[in-house]
Structure 1
Amino acid sequence: MDATLTEFMTFCVLLDLYRGVPRLYANFNGYDEMAHEHGVLHAEALWMLRWIDSRLVEIERLSREAMRVGYDLFIISDHGMASAISFKARFGQTLGEFVSQAMHLDVDFDAGEESAAAARALRARYLIAALRDSQSRLPPWARRLARRTRRPLLNYLSREEPAYDWQLEGEVVVQVSGPLAHIYFRVTSQPMDLPEVALLYAEFMQHLVGHDGIELVVGRDADQVIVLGRKGGVLTATADKIDSQGLDPLEAFDDRDYVLRELKHLVQLPTSGDLVLLGRLFDTGEVITFEEQEATHGGLGGGQDKPFIIYPAALSPSLPMIESPEALYQWLIARYPL
């Protein structure tokens, strides 16, 4: 299936290059899927990487030949990837099961293996819609190819899409994505501050903070961000002040300032959980993931913090130091205005 998506995406890009579309953006997700399932350097993942590379060669060749437009080709990873140990494999239960046991409550939703299937199904739906919308603008031979491509996507979707019940009515919701988890306490309609959680769920917090599979427990208190470390340290940060007690909760991370900046941004988002958890980061660079994965990303620490960008050498003098996706986006739209 991943090879089919790669071929379809390549076909779309080549067609738009031939038509002279001024700006193109395409996602090649095959390596990501294979690495999650098998591991960063597994033979299946590396085969997919070589397959994608061969398709990029085709795209690069045609972009050079499209002289009337003059394309610049950028190859960007939206994240890195870290070798992972699943929470369930290490501790014999999912994070949701652990939370349920520690709180003596039923947990409504624990995203694990199903979330990967849901993501694949969402991509399949997107591609089906894109094929349907584009068919009327394609020449006859391309329309026939598009119709044939839709069939395996529809078959794939019917097999993979899980039957979800999104009517969540319990007191606690656990939502995970790789080594990152959000816990929501629905005893109130408003986001809860960390001191409130600690007061209402004191026994649970004792089980959670210091758990061998959880590096950080993060919450908010008004305009403060509170970071609780696995070894008992506490860090409190506001916009202009940082206070730390005990062992530094961020000692496991190479770039402490970057990690703190990202945590402050995350927990202040309106959709963020009442508690945010990061899976443990080992000295080896391996990370505890809350999904069933051999490699992971979405949290902080290890290889997942190391994305890359490949760009034309001629642009080096004009390309500033890029420290965030937002900065890269601003540079791109300034250089290639809509």
Structure 2
Amino acid sequence: MRVITVWAVSTLTMLVLAGLLPDFQLKADDGDSITRVALTAVWGAGAFGLLVALVWPLAVRALLLVPALVLGLLVFFLNGSLLLVALSLIPDGRGEAEPETAVVVAAVMSAVASATSAALAVRDDDAYRRRLSRLAHRRGRQGGDDGRHGLPGTLFLQLDGVGHDVLLQAVADGLMPTVASWLDGAEPTHRLTPWRTDWSSQTGASQLGILHGSNHDIPAFRWYEKESGEVVVSSRPASAALMQRRAVARTGDGGLLTLDGASRGNLFSGGADQLALVLSIAARRGRSNRSRAGYFAYFSDPANAVRTALSFVAEVVREIVQSTRARLRGDSPRVKRGGLYPFIRAFATVVQRDIVVAAVLGDMLAGRTAVYADLVAYDEVAHHSGPHSTDALKVLERLDRSLELVAKVAEHAPRAYRIVLLSDHGQSPGETFQSAYGLTLANLVRAGCGLPVPRHAARTTSASEARDAVRTALHRPVPDDEEEPEHPEPGSDPVVLASGNLGLISFPDTPGRATREQLDRRHPALLTTLANHPGIGFLLVRSEEHGALVLGAGGAEHRLDDSGDGGPAGDARPLAVFGAGAADAVRRTSGFPHVADIMVNSWHDPDTGRVHAFEEQIGSHGGLGGEQGRPFLLSPYTLSPPVAGGQELVGAEQVHHVLRRWLRECQGPQVPVVAAGAPAENPRPETEAEGSFPVSGGAVQDKSA
């Protein structure tokens, strides 16, 4: 009945368009009766629908070889071509349309058919459930049951950039009813646990640690490596592949998802077999590259293509309206949101979300053991609108509807699923460093070095996972005027990079890590200029005499390495406002081989949580200070608690241990045990004391226990 209804609506749509468009007709030149025209429309609509069902999947698979932007344009060309073929199949040649008119007619018919089909499916809930059950049963037979379908699977859904406090705010405001039902429903099913990030509070470091068990030597989102003269950027495919190789070599393990896993929309694969929109393999070419498989899985249904295209346009309009309102209201702080940003936002909040969610649904219906998926929508909007803004919170409302759909489909999967919701970091609000003080960090460094400073400061570099994912999808390199060069020119000028409110300063012509003494001899005013600037919280340098050293305003110094009596020495004021664990996080980063000569953390107001980003972002993350370092972990009561009572979950590597423990609880000893950070040449087994968190009385199987 649903097919017949959609066919009837498509026929009526074709008749209306034939009456409105002069270049589109459904009758012979000498005229036809109304009945004859109606039969022609019935024939044409049926032929068009049949061609779309048969030809579209094959065409989309072939078109995956072209960049995503070209694919988007070809969608309309393909639809128009199929309509022309359908009209040619009408007896006696009664169907006729100009090519450009055929594109319009096909687009309108697809949109109407999609809307009609979706409306019928929503109203007919029983039919929707039967369809999912049949699909789950069929996919289970195709994949084969190796005995694991009797065990529960685990789904890890990452809400990129959503801090612990932001999640609670959205739940309290009624924007996330699905999450609220898990936490505060009649029978709560999940527990909420905050955790603390490493100093580098950004997706590259956090997700690498979570998926691969090690984020050693990831000092920031981007950093300069002197031995190669290259800038490594977490969101570049080649850099992501390098980071993943180093993590695998250090742990001696493929990752969290090596057992029948799927990785969707992530920077890294996690060792999964099934990959879609994974950045670390996007630079590969050949049959082994399946990073764009998600495009086919989603766009093989033309209704999805039309629905996503319409939602994409609506999101672009929404962003233009919201940014215009913010400008007219005089909102502060504010950053520019013009240019390509509305389209980048639409990609993150519509295209990436739709493809990743569709891939996750397919994974559950196929009964995969472990799935890890990243949804970047909130993070992208919060960078430009602020983490607590209405714009960003509304994105969470739409993401909650996706969570509801995932939970609903999980009921029809061939195995039970434990749904774990987590974030990789939060975001801290605040005016940008350049807006607050009228110059960039790079220009402040040049002034401290006695180098000429441009009269007009250039636009500060800014980047995000969504922006670089768009460039990767388009097969476009990073423009030199929007990003630091991959190979900076050798010379005496310092290389200054930004990662949210964390800055990195390197001197390419100084071998190894420059010490404080070397810097003072070469640039006597530099460290004093930086440490005493009101927009800077502290500096990390290496001293020949005292080792790792934190410098603050007014000559404050804090030695991170042990003093003679076994305790820290010096003035601890520079780190005091950044909370517990700040010294440990900075000390750990100081031991990385590729830490910058000078690491700069911006000012932080502990009362408001505000920071100053060194990029053009009013919601930022990457360093210490505020909500950026406090993400969340939302886990079912059927899994053991993340930590024992009173303990704190610290660092992405420890989160990896927790997730791997949960996989063992679901799948048994076939999940390998690996200690985070263990070198490949000397892998050591994980024990409760060093790699996991003990739970009194054994693992909790349900809430009542």
Q: Secondary structure at the match of 1:289?
A: coil
- Work out whether 1:295 is the aligned partner of 2:295: no
8 Å CA contact 2:441, 2:614 repeated in 1: yes
Map Cα deviations across residues 79-135 of structure 1 (whole Å, 9 max, x no partner): 12111210100111111122122213379xx99754416x43432366x4xxxxxxx
Task: Give the match for residue 47 of structure 1.
Answer: 394
- Distance in structure 2 (CA, Å) of the matches to 1:102 and 1:192: 16
- Distance in structure 1 (CA, Å) of the matches to 2:636 and 2:616: 38
CA drift at 1:55: 0.8
Which of the numbers 520, 525, 529 marks the counterpart of 1:198?
Answer: 520
Task: Give the match for residue 332 of structure 1.
Answer: 659
Which of the numbers 646, 650, 653 marks the counterpart of 1:323?
Answer: 650
- Distance in structure 1 (CA, Å) of the matches to 2:652 and 2:382: 22
TM-score by length of 2: 0.41
- Work out whether 1:221 is the aligned partner of 2:543: yes
Map Cα deviations across residues 154-182 of structure 1 (whole Å, 9 max, x no partner): 3xx65x94235333123210011000011
Task: Give the match for residue 574 of structure 2.
Answer: 249
Task: Give the match for residue 69 of structure 1.
Answer: 415
Cα 1:10–1:231 shift into 2, 3 Å: farther
Unaligned runs of 5+ in 1: 129-153
Alignment of 1:76-115 (within 5 A): 76-105=422-451, 113-115=460-462
CA drift at 1:317: 4.5
8 Å CA contact 1:112, 1:176 repeated in 2: no
CA drift at 1:304: 1.3
Cα 1:49–1:230 shift into 2, 3 Å: farther
Cα 1:299–1:19 shift into 2, 3 Å: same
8 Å CA contact 1:229, 1:249 repeated in 2: yes
- Work out whether 1:179 is the aligned partner of 2:496: no
- Work out whether 1:22 is the aligned partner of 2:369: yes
8 Å CA contact 1:74, 1:310 repeated in 2: yes
Cα 1:218–1:317 shift into 2, 3 Å: closer
- Work out whether 1:166 is the aligned partner of 2:486: yes
Structure 1 letter corresponding to 2:609: G
- Distance in structure 1 (CA, Å) of the matches to 2:458 and 2:376: 20
- Distance in structure 1 (CA, Å) of the matches to 2:406 and 2:459: 35
Task: Give the match for residue 145 of structure 1.
Answer: none
Task: Give the match for residue 139 of structure 1.
Answer: none
Map Cα deviations across residues 224-258 of structure 1 (whole Å, 9 max, x no partner): 2100113431100215430013x622221231xx0
Percent of aligned pairs sharing the same letter: 27
Structure 2 letter corresponding to 1:202: P
Q: Secondary structure at the match of 1:249?
A: helix
Which of the numbers 602, 607, 610 marks the counterpart of 1:286?
Answer: 610
Q: Secondary structure at the match of 2:392?
A: helix
Structure 2 letter corresponding to 1:214: I
8 Å CA contact 2:501, 2:602 repeated in 1: yes
CA RMSD for the aligned pairs?
Answer: 2.4
Task: Give the match for residue 245 of structure 2.
Answer: none
Cα 1:188–1:60 shift into 2, 3 Å: same
Which of the numbers 375, 388, 403 marks the counterpart of 1:56?
Answer: 403
- Distance in structure 1 (CA, Å) of the matches to 2:610 and 2:372: 31
Further displaced range: 3-12 or 316-325: 316-325
- Distance in structure 2 (CA, Å) of the matches to 1:13 and 1:86: 37
- Work out whether 1:2 is the aligned partner of 2:348: yes
Q: Secondary structure at the match of 2:388?
A: coil
8 Å CA contact 1:102, 1:204 repeated in 2: yes
Structure 2 letter corresponding to 1:176: A
Q: Secondary structure at the match of 1:219?
A: strand
Q: How many residue pairs were aligned? A: 302
Which of the numbers 232, 251, 260 marks the counterpart of 2:583?
Answer: 260
TM-score by length of 1: 0.82
CA drift at 1:188: 1.8
CA drift at 1:316: 4.4
Cα 1:268–1:317 shift into 2, 3 Å: closer
Cα 1:231–1:206 shift into 2, 3 Å: closer
CA drift at 1:17: 1.0
8 Å CA contact 1:36, 1:296 repeated in 2: yes
CA drift at 1:331: 2.1
CA drift at 1:59: 1.3
Q: Secondary structure at the match of 2:439?
A: coil
Map Cα deviations across residues 16-53 of structure 1 (whole Å, 9 max, x no partner): 11111111001111101111111112222112111111
Structure 2 letter corresponding to 1:76: L
Map Cα deviations across residues 199-234 of structure 1 (whole Å, 9 max, x no partner): 321112221111100000111236821001134311
- Distance in structure 2 (CA, Å) of the matches to 1:228 and 1:297: 22
Structure 2 letter corresponding to 1:74: V
Larger radius of gyration: 2
- Distance in structure 2 (CA, Å) of the matches to 1:102 and 1:193: 16
Unaligned runs of 5+ in 2: 1-346, 664-670, 673-705
8 Å CA contact 1:111, 1:175 repeated in 2: no
- Work out whether 1:309 is the aligned partner of 2:633: yes
Further displaced range: 220-229 or 84-93: 220-229
Q: Secondary structure at the match of 2:498?
A: strand
CA drift at 1:323: 2.0
- Distance in structure 2 (CA, Å) of the matches to 1:301 and 1:231: 20
Which of the numbers 466, 473, 496 marks the counterpart of 1:120?
Answer: 466
